[in-house]
Structure 1
Amino acid sequence: MSPSDHVQAFRDLLGAVGVVDDPQRLATYTTDQRQLFTGSTLAVLKPVTTKQVSDVVTLAARLGIGLVPQGGNTSYCGGATPDASGRQVVVSLERMDAIREVDPLSMSISVDAGAILKKVQEAAASAALLLPLSLGAEGSCRIGGNIGTNAGGLSVVRYGMTRDLLLGIEAVLPDGTIVSDMRKLRKNNTGYDVKQCFVGSEGTLGIVTGAVLRLAPLPVRRATAWLKLAKVAPLAELLALVRRESGELLTTFEFMTARSIALATAAMASPPSVGPGSGGAILLEFASSSRHLDLDSLMETILAETVEYEWVEDAFLAQSGAQRASMWELRETIPEGEKRWGGSVKHDISAPLSCIQRFLDVAGVEVRKFHADLELSVYGHVGDGNLHYNILVPQGTNRIAFTRLVEASLSLRLYDAAAALGGTFSAEHGVGRFKRHLLEKYGDPGRVAAMRRVKTAFDPAGIMNAGAVVRPLDPEPVY
Structure 2
Amino acid sequence: MSQSVHVRPFRDLLDSGGVVEDPERIATYTMDQRQLFTGSTFAVLKPATTQQVADIVRLAAHYGIGIVPQGGNTSYCGGATPDASGRQVIVSLERMDRIREIDPVSMSISVDAGAILKNVQDAAAAAGLLLPLSLGAEASCRIGGNIGTNAGGLSVVRYGMTRDLLLGIEAVLADGTVVSDMRKLRKNNTGYDVKQCFVGSEGTLGIVTGAVLRLAPLPTRRATAWLKLAKDAPIAELLTLIHRESAYLLTTFEFMTSRSITLATEAITDPPSLGAGPGGAVLVEFASSSRHLDLDELMEAVLAEAIETGCVDDALLAQSGSQRTAMWRLRETIPEGEKRRNGSVKHDISVPLSSIQRFLDLAGSQVRSYDADLELSVYGHVGDGNLHYNVLVPRDVDRLEFTKRIESSLSLQLYDTAAALGGTFSAEHGVGRFKKHLLARYSDPGRIAAMRRIKTAFDPADIMNAGAIVCPMGGKSAS
Query: Normalised by the size of structure 2, how large is the TM-score?
Result: 0.99
Secondary structure at 2:296's aligned position in 1?
helix
Secondary structure at 1:51's aligned position in 2?
helix
Name the counterpart of 1:215: 215
Secondary structure at 2:119's aligned position in 1?
helix
1:87-102 equivalences under 5 Å are 87-102=87-102
Name the counterpart of 2:42: 42
Name the counterpart of 1:180: 180
Distance 1:475 1:382 in 2: 38
1:115-126 equivalences under 5 Å are 115-126=115-126
Distance 2:15 2:133 in 1: 35
Name the counterpart of 2:268: 268
Distance 1:472 1:169 in 2: 23
Secondary structure at 1:247's aligned position in 2?
coil
4+ long deviations beyond 3 Å: none
Secondary structure at 1:222's aligned position in 2?
strand
Report the AA paired with residue 148 of structure 1. Answer: G
- Conserved? CA contact 2:462–2:471, under 8 Å: no
1:287-324 per-position Cα deviation (integer Å, ceiling 9, x unaligned): 00001101001100110111111110100000000000
Report the AA paired with residue 347 of structure 2. Answer: H
Q: CA deviation at 1:159?
A: 0.0
Distance 2:247 2:413 in 1: 37
Name the counterpart of 1:463: 463
Report the AA paired with residue 22 of structure 1. Answer: D
- Conserved? CA contact 1:376–1:392, under 8 Å: yes
Name the counterpart of 2:428: 428
1:441-460 equivalences under 5 Å are 441-460=441-460
Name the counterpart of 1:244: 244
Q: CA deviation at 1:476?
A: 4.5
Q: Is 1:293 the counterpart of 2:297 in the alignment?
A: no
Distance 1:232 1:16 in 2: 61
1:279-318 equivalences under 5 Å are 279-318=279-318
Q: CA deviation at 1:16?
A: 2.3
- Conserved? CA contact 1:97–1:113, under 8 Å: yes
Distance 1:107 1:271 in 2: 38
Report the AA paired with residue 285 of structure 1. Answer: E
Q: In percent, how many aligned pairs have the same letter?
A: 79
Distance 1:158 1:475 in 2: 40
Secondary structure at 1:279's aligned position in 2?
coil
Distance 1:431 1:61 in 2: 24
- Conserved? CA contact 1:173–1:205, under 8 Å: yes
Report the AA paired with residue 199 of structure 1. Answer: V
Q: Is 1:202 the counterpart of 2:202 in the alignment?
A: yes
Distance 2:306 2:460 in 1: 56
Report the AA paired with residue 351 of structure 1. Answer: V
- Answer with 264-273 or 151-160: which moved more: 264-273
Distance 1:6 1:274 in 2: 57
Report the AA paired with residue 448 of structure 1. Answer: I
Distance 2:461 2:21 in 1: 25
Q: What is the number of equivalent residue pairs in this alignment?
A: 477
Report the AA paired with residue 250 of structure 1. Answer: L
Structure 2: runs of 5 or more not aligned? none
1:221-240 equivalences under 5 Å are 221-240=221-240
Name the counterpart of 1:439: 439
Report the AA paired with residue 174 of structure 1. Answer: A
Name the counterpart of 2:277: 277
Distance 1:259 1:316 in 2: 20
Secondary structure at 2:389's aligned position in 1?
strand
Secondary structure at 2:224's aligned position in 1?
strand
Name the counterpart of 2:359: 359
Q: CA deviation at 1:474?
A: 1.7
Distance 1:103 1:162 in 2: 19
Distance 2:475 2:126 in 1: 50
Distance 1:224 1:18 in 2: 45
Q: CA deviation at 1:232?
A: 1.8
Distance 1:397 1:310 in 2: 41
Name the counterpart of 2:71: 71
Name the counterpart of 1:472: 472
Report the AA paired with residue 254 of structure 2. Answer: E
1:78-157 equivalences under 5 Å are 78-157=78-157
Report the AA paired with residue 358 of structure 1. Answer: R
Distance 2:470 2:385 in 1: 25
Distance 1:259 1:370 in 2: 19
- Conserved? CA contact 1:466–1:476, under 8 Å: no
Distance 1:196 1:21 in 2: 34
- Conserved? CA contact 1:101–1:111, under 8 Å: yes
Name the counterpart of 1:162: 162
Structure 1: runs of 5 or more not aligned? none
Report the AA paired with residue 184 of structure 2. Answer: K
Distance 2:324 2:304 in 1: 20
Distance 2:130 2:17 in 1: 35
- Answer with 269-278 or 88-97: which moved more: 269-278
Q: CA deviation at 1:3?
A: 2.6
Q: Is 1:398 the counterpart of 2:398 in the alignment?
A: yes
Distance 1:436 1:116 in 2: 27
Report the AA paired with residue 280 of structure 1. Answer: G
